[in-house]
Chains A and B, each alone.
Chain A
Amino acid sequence: MNKTIKQLSALLSAGKASSVELCQDYLAHIQTQNATLNAFISVDNDKTLAEARAADALRTSGQAGLLTGVPIAHKDIFCAEGWLTTCGSKILSNFVSPYDAHVIEQFKAAGMPCLGKTNMDEFAMGSSNETSFYGPVRNPWDTTRVPGGSSGGSAACVAARMAPAATGTDTGGSIRQPAALCGITGLKPTYGIVSRYGMIAFASSLDQGGPMAQTAEDCGLLLNVMAGFDTRDSTCLERPKEDYTRSLNQPLAGLKIGLPREFFGPGLVGDTAKAVEEAISQLIKLGAETVEVGLPNSGLSVAAYYVLAPAEASSNLSRFDGVRYGYRTPEYGDLTDMYEKTRAEGFGSEVKRRIMIGAYVLSHGYYDAYYIQAQKLRRLIANDFTTAFQQCDVILSPTAPSTAFKLGEKTADPVEMYLSDIYTIAVNLAGLPGMSLPCGFDAQGLPIGMQLIGNYFDEARMLGVAHQYQLATDWHARAPQGI
């Protein structure tokens, strides 16, 4: 159960295990763990095992790829044919997708069985997984605490070894922050690397799917499957296929790591500060150099994000109107009444809050003051990174300001919740790749994550740095007690 997908792949190709056996083990583990952790919204043993049998057949006939037969869990934001696909919302609580997202197609083509659909903040709006219609996910390291969000189910299931890997999506930190809070490794690719087709949109210009696993190496292997040009997503980039694991073994000698002074200010305290400092020392020991860089506009990123993301969301979520699919209020008068009741009952309060913010900033007379200004900030923030990358190869920072907090601790104060993503949001605004990997534990035994930010399309180098760090440390290999 502690095995990485790299190790599982080796077991399968050596004939020491079948995909059916692996899937049965994971499904049994999900069966015992999920009641407590609530990491999965949907599990379907028959479907999973049918896919596992197909994978085993491929292997028997000599047609297996590297990851054929290795199971994976998918965030419930990805449409998967025949699977309930809820996006964590009541409004899609009856929606069985008739089609596969591009990402799902890619994993199917690789022969990787789906272990189930993971819980998430409703429409990926949240940093604690508490906004899900299906209830909060609990952190496997301390079940009184949140796993982070919005890909909280994916992070928790990998941390609890209910799945060797999972997909996530990241709009403002939704892969990296829960990866940090659950002690796993997660990567948000450069915007446009992974097709968004079939990934239910939150904020189209920021959303990006990515892998979550135990190691950087696994994330590289998974990104090889997920990434690729798709004509159905006009924002997907047409680039030659690349091997994201190609730089894993590159030594760190001469690597320049940028440390943004804005991210190491007075806001960073205690165990997180200490763990990140120690990680930096470790990297220096491995041959890297550090250089201080400036991201002067990064302090405005949360503000810009909470204009742009809700603006896009308010429009993206208009299709959930009770007319064609999904939840519709059982009793209504006229059309307007049907819309109002359906959406009032179908959406949770965080989603409604963001739809209202979004509608407000796009409305006549406010558009220039909010939306246009925020777009300008976005450009400034992206320019900051361009300047910084003239001085360094990768940027390092903490992933989140704190370790996992208690369930309910921040639900009363949305702004405090939004600040959970203070280190991650700028990366989405700039469209850069970023990842989180474990770099220690706090006094309460909760995992701490550090963030690496790469230049555009520099996933391979970023993964190489993370892999070299993981060869020298074992934070990523630790699993919570009692699982």
Chain B
Amino acid sequence: MQWETVIGLEVHTQLTTQSKIFSGASIAFGAEPNTQACQVDIALPGVLPVLNKGAVERGIRFGLAIGAKLNRINSFDRKNYFYPDLPKGYQISQFALPIVEGGELTVQVGSGSDLYEKTIHITRAHLEEDAGKSLHEDFHGSTGIDLNRAGTPLLEIVSEPDMRSAKEAVAYAKALHTLVTWIGTCDGNMQEGSFRVDANVSVRPVGQKEFGTRREIKNLNSFRFLEQAINYEIRWQIEQIEDGHKIQQATVLFDPDTGETRAMRSKEDAHDYRYFPDPDLLPVQLDEDWIEQVRASLPELPQQKQARYQSEWNLSAYDAATLTGSRELADYFEAVVAGLAKPDAKLAANWVMGDLSATLNKENLDVAASRISAAQLAGLLARIQDGTLSGKLAKQVFEAMWAGEGNADAIIESKGLKQVSDSGEIERIIDEVMAANAKSVEEFRSGKEKAFNALVGQVMKASKGKANPQQVNDLLRQKLNA
């Protein structure tokens, strides 16, 4: 039996406001427990919520970025359940009327010849407050409660069940991560829990129209775990069905140590959350002028840039997608192109995606922390363009620049790395090499093409790598055939 996987994601993005969604307390990460929980956050008797306008602004921002419908009237409901880290005994969330409905995100999946585009539709995105944290360690026989996180603003982004593999889910999650950090609604810090993914996974026989029963994997905080968890879940569900079992709807947790998922609660234990409109908060009415202000403040979005890179600069879809992997990377790349007197986006793309990315990866640095500025890299590429540097020499200069030895021109000067393009000088070296390698010359002339490469190597070596390789090739062949 051939199986098809169906995946939908719910992503909790923590918003980049200064303060909480319904109180003035700070949301900065890492403070001592309960030092950022005011009387509203700890739900003292009599306190009331007041909506943070910044959170609404970020909701609008996201909605505009995915081309969604913004609900001009949206509202908050109470989701009622008891838990010690939920101080009010209910979470304020948007249930009936979320701020964002619809919208889509087109993502690149795979690479090389397997690369394809996929459009993921977004069901809705709603504003809500985060809960606090229960601390089970360090408290013998009891549980500590830290309410610093309680009331932190979240935008929960719910996709349609449009994904058909873990790869697609990861591609979508990454594209979403890029987008929310790009437009500044979320800092994207996954270690600190600013971007958390729940994956709804089901399988069905290929060709079947109805969805299979889904299980929801909760709280995945890395793309790697997301992929592992989904793949495990797919295998597990197929095995279960093939063994004659039925999948029960359930919420599961992924254990990174074992690479397995395990059920947390089944549908039977599902809460009745008794949603109803929060009488402490009035419906939110979005003003058209405000929406237009937010629209005007949006930067050029990743997908817009990708289209432009392909149409204006003839870059491949893959290159365009890679270069727009983050706003910082795209900004860097564009600054390199802009720094070239003779714009050559392909050359800039090759260096940014090649040596620069490799070096950044090796040192585990973000492009913002690159030791070579975009202007410096453009200075290096200009010397390639004008023939001063060969590709090989350019790599040497790049390494020296990374080591902090200055700009390309200074390094070329101090290290004497300038490519030799003086044909008289090259001919002189060729003559010497031919004289010293009579055997190779003889072999070439008797038809062994391989000997040519050996002679080129010798010439390059004799020039300490500085000879212009194209000229060496041309002149050597002339002389040998003379």
Q: Given A197-B47, A232-B50, A335-B84 in contact, is the A315-B282 Cβ separation under 8 Å?
A: no
B44 A79 Cβ-Cβ under 8 A: yes
B45 A324 Cβ-Cβ under 8 A: no
With CB as the reference atom, state the residue of chain A lying closest to B51. A234
Question: Which residues from A are CB-within-8-Å of B39?
Answer: 98-99
B272 A321 Cβ-Cβ under 8 A: no
B45 A85 Cβ-Cβ under 8 A: yes
Partner of A315, one of B45, B50, B80, B281: B80
Q: Is B179 an interface residue (CB 8 A)?
A: no
A198 B47 Cβ-Cβ under 8 A: yes
Q: Is A92 an interface residue (CB 8 A)?
A: yes
B89 A319 Cβ-Cβ under 8 A: yes
Q: Is B447 an interface residue (CB 8 A)?
A: no
Once the chains are docked, how many angstroms separate the CA of A87 from the CA of B45? 9
Question: Which residues from A are CB-within-8-Å of B50?
Answer: 231-232, 234
B42 A324 Cβ-Cβ under 8 A: yes
Once the chains are docked, how many angstroms separate the CA of A335 from the CA of B145? 13
In the complex, chain A residues 230-249 whose Cβ is within 8 Å of any chain B Cβ: 231-235
Nearest Cβ in chain A — how far from B246, in angstroms?
A: 24
Q: Is A325 an interface residue (CB 8 A)?
A: yes
Q: Is B444 an interface residue (CB 8 A)?
A: no
Interface size on A, residues (CB 8 A): 44
B48 A79 Cβ-Cβ under 8 A: no
Once the chains are docked, how many angstroms separate the CA of A234 from the CA of B23? 12
Q: Mostly helix, strand, loop or mixed at chain B's interface?
A: loop
B45 A204 Cβ-Cβ under 8 A: no
Question: Which residues from B are CB-within-8-Å of A314?
Answer: 80, 274
Question: Which residues from B are CB-within-8-Å of A10?
Answer: none
Q: Is A359 an interface residue (CB 8 A)?
A: yes
Q: Could you count the A-B residue pairs with CB atoms below 8 Å apart for me: how many are there?
A: 95
Q: Is B318 an interface residue (CB 8 A)?
A: no
With CB as the reference atom, state the residue of chain A lying closest to B43. A319
Q: Given A363-B272, A367-B276 in contact, is the A319-B45 Cβ separation under 8 Å?
A: yes
Nearest Cβ in chain B — how far from A178, in angstroms?
A: 21
A234 B90 Cβ-Cβ under 8 A: no
Question: Which residues from A are CB-within-8-Å of B48?
Answer: 196-197, 232-234
Question: Which residues from B are CB-within-8-Å of A320?
Answer: 45
Q: Given A359-B274, A364-B272, A371-B276 in contact, is the A79-B46 Cβ separation under 8 Å?
A: yes
A315 B47 Cβ-Cβ under 8 A: no
B87 A319 Cβ-Cβ under 8 A: yes
Q: Is B82 an interface residue (CB 8 A)?
A: yes
Q: Given A234-B281, A312-B279, A362-B274 in contact, is the A318-B88 Cβ separation under 8 Å?
A: yes
Once the chains are docked, how many angstroms separate the CA of A176 from the CA of B276? 29
Q: Is A205 an interface residue (CB 8 A)?
A: yes
Once the chains are docked, how many angstroms separate the CA of A413 from the CA of B42? 37
With CB as the reference atom, state the residue of chain B lying closest to A326. B45
Q: Given A234-B281, A319-B89 in contact, is the A363-B44 Cβ separation under 8 Å?
A: no
B88 A204 Cβ-Cβ under 8 A: no
With CB as the reference atom, state the residue of chain B lying closest to A204. B279
Chain B interface size, as a band, is 20 to 34
Nearest Cβ in chain A — how far from B424, in angstroms?
A: 83
Question: Which residues from B are CB-within-8-Å of A159?
Answer: none
B46 A321 Cβ-Cβ under 8 A: no
Q: Is A95 an interface residue (CB 8 A)?
A: yes
A318 B82 Cβ-Cβ under 8 A: yes
Nearest Cβ in chain A — how far from B52, in angstroms?
A: 12
Nearest Cβ in chain B — how far from A311, in angstroms?
A: 6
Q: Chain A, 79-90, contact with B by CB distance < 8 Å: what is the 0/1 string?
A: 100000101000
Q: Is B78 an interface residue (CB 8 A)?
A: yes
Q: Is B49 an interface residue (CB 8 A)?
A: yes
With CB as the reference atom, state the residue of chain A lying closest to B39. A99
Q: Is B192 an interface residue (CB 8 A)?
A: no
Q: Chain A, 96-112, contact with B by CB distance < 8 Å: what is the 0/1 string?
A: 01110100000000000
Question: Which residues from A are CB-within-8-Å of B300?
Answer: none
In the complex, chain B residues 53-94 whose Cβ is within 8 Å of any chain A Cβ: 78, 80, 82, 84, 87-90
Q: Is B280 an interface residue (CB 8 A)?
A: yes
Nearest Cβ in chain A — how far from B45, in angstroms?
A: 4
Once the chains are docked, how many angstroms separate the CA of A371 from the CA of B87? 25
With CB as the reference atom, state the residue of chain B lying closest to A317. B89
B80 A234 Cβ-Cβ under 8 A: no
A98 B44 Cβ-Cβ under 8 A: yes
Q: Given A323-B145, A367-B276 in contact, is the A198-B88 Cβ separation under 8 Å?
A: no
Question: Which residues from B are CB-within-8-Å of A335?
Answer: 84
Question: Which residues from B are CB-within-8-Å of A324?
Answer: 42-43, 87, 145
Once the chains are docked, how many angstroms separate the CA of A286 from the CA of B274? 53
Partner of B46, one of A198, A205, A235, A362: A198
With CB as the reference atom, state the residue of chain B lying closest to A198. B46
A205 B279 Cβ-Cβ under 8 A: yes
Once the chains are docked, how many angstroms separate the CA of A252 from the CA of B44? 46
Q: Given A234-B280, A321-B82, A364-B272 in contact, is the A95-B89 Cβ separation under 8 Å?
A: no
Question: Which residues from B are CB-within-8-Å of A395?
Answer: none
Q: Given A323-B84, A359-B274 in contact, is the A101-B46 Cβ separation under 8 Å?
A: yes
A234 B282 Cβ-Cβ under 8 A: yes
- Which of B45, B46, B47, B272 has most chain A Cβ within 10 Å? B45
Question: Which residues from A are CB-within-8-Å of B42?
Answer: 324
Question: Which residues from B are CB-within-8-Å of A197?
Answer: 46-48
Nearest Cβ in chain B — how far from A325, in angstroms?
A: 7
Once the chains are docked, how many angstroms separate the CA of A234 from the CA of B48? 8
Question: Which residues from A are CB-within-8-Å of B275?
Answer: 362, 367
Q: Is A199 an interface residue (CB 8 A)?
A: yes
Question: Which residues from B are CB-within-8-Å of A325?
Answer: 44
Question: Which residues from A are CB-within-8-Å of B46?
Answer: 78-79, 97, 101, 196-201
Question: Which residues from B are CB-within-8-Å of A405?
Answer: none
Once the chains are docked, how many angstroms separate the CA of A203 from the CA of B279? 8
Question: Which residues from B are CB-within-8-Å of A92?
Answer: 45
With CB as the reference atom, state the residue of chain A lying closest to B45. A200
Q: Given A99-B39, A234-B50 in contact, is the A321-B274 Cβ separation under 8 Å?
A: no
Once the chains are docked, how many angstroms separate the CA of A457 from the CA of B43? 31
- Which of B44, B51, B80, B87 has most chain A Cβ within 10 Å? B44
Once the chains are docked, how many angstroms separate the CA of A97 from the CA of B39? 11
In the complex, chain A residues 317-356 whose Cβ is within 8 Å of any chain B Cβ: 317-321, 323-325, 335, 339
Once the chains are docked, how many angstroms separate the CA of A472 from the CA of B332? 84
B89 A99 Cβ-Cβ under 8 A: no
Question: Which residues from A are CB-within-8-Å of B47?
Answer: 197-198
Partner of A204, one of B82, B90, B280: B280
Question: Which residues from A are CB-within-8-Å of B272?
Answer: 363-364
Question: Which residues from B are CB-within-8-Å of A339?
Answer: 82
Partner of B89, one of A78, A196, A321: A321
B274 A315 Cβ-Cβ under 8 A: yes
Q: Given A319-B87, A321-B89 in contact, is the A95-B49 Cβ separation under 8 Å?
A: no
Question: Which residues from B are CB-within-8-Å of A363?
Answer: 272, 274
In the complex, chain B residues 259-288 whose Cβ is within 8 Å of any chain A Cβ: 272, 274-276, 279-282
Question: Which residues from A are CB-within-8-Å of B88?
Answer: 318-319
Nearest Cβ in chain A — how far from B153, in angstroms?
A: 16
A315 B90 Cβ-Cβ under 8 A: yes
A-B pairs, top 7 by smallest CB distance, nearest first, are A318-B89, A362-B274, A204-B279, A205-B279, A198-B46, A319-B43, A200-B45
List 12 additional contacts besides A197-B46, A235-B280, A314-B274; criterion CB under 8 Å.
A79-B44, A98-B44, A99-B39, A199-B46, A235-B279, A318-B90, A319-B87, A323-B87, A359-B274, A362-B275, A364-B272, A367-B275
Complex A-B: 19 CB contacts under 8 Å: A79-B44, A99-B39, A196-B48, A200-B46, A232-B50, A233-B48, A234-B51, A234-B282, A312-B276, A314-B80, A318-B80, A319-B88, A321-B82, A321-B89, A324-B87, A324-B145, A362-B80, A362-B275, A363-B272
Binding site for A on B (CB under 8 A): 39, 42-51, 78, 80, 82, 84, 87-90, 145, 272, 274-276, 279-282
Binding site for B on A (CB under 8 A): 78-79, 85, 87, 92, 95, 97-99, 101, 196-201, 203-205, 231-235, 311-312, 314-315, 317-321, 323-325, 335, 339, 359, 362-364, 367, 371
